[in-house]
Structure 1
């Protein structure tokens, strides 16, 4: 007999990429339609960060994955701050371009990594919700991508032996 926990023990290597592609198709047009001043709005879920900071953080994480740059301390608060600072002189459009590239190209890299990078797709989905919430969009953490995000969350928490 298969239990729900057993189902979550099976990794779908394509799930993170599908989630990222679907998120790209939903979020990038919203971002491109916003005024520059909207990128300066504070994100309540990320104290001290603006929409621009969250996007810079996410796009930098994708670039690190695409370039296989995983130096010591990567994805730490200090690394996140450095990534945001490195993009301080970039236009909002350039950050969105890098973000879109990551959403488009990271899926296959994550799939080949054997599961260790799956949580990156989940984190991006959460941050996309943070941005939608900041913009006052209804269902910021819901919509068509919610089942994919929950399936990925179930797999990651079971794999890491967290409480469901």
Structure 2
């Protein structure tokens, strides 16, 4: 991680409850029109931090919690990919290292984007399960954040609920 401000509880923004069904939503979180959400759809949570510094947006991928076990009942090997999104187009992929065998992985990595590239765009963050051998890696959950809705004047740490990804959003054949 870079020499960013200390990650402390006072920087944390609580997950907000919104919507008629009590759907959990983090700051700036948006949903695709293509899926119906319910509280039961949540696939765990990812904790992200945001800070604008020296002309760059620093996206701190802190950790995830309550990720579901894989098909064999074991905790998954996971990593997080982020993209800047303009419309349906994904640009500037960044990713964390793989954390092995954990339903509560600690990533603690900072992914940077040029501040001039974020205006009017969304950040797509996806938790992926790394598969063994020649199998395709599997998306475990996704969050999409409208960057214009966030306050970058100070470090902001937020929990975001993960929801099922929409195949049109991400090429499922893409490897890590």
User: Which TM-score band applies after superposition, normalised by the shorter structure?
Assistant: under 0.3
Q: Tell me the TM-score normalized by structure 2.
A: 0.23
TM-score by length of structure 1 reads 0.24
Instruction: Specify which structure has the bigger relative contact order, considering alpha-carbon pairs within 8 angstroms and separated by 6 or more residues.
Output: 1
Decide which structure has greater helix share: 1
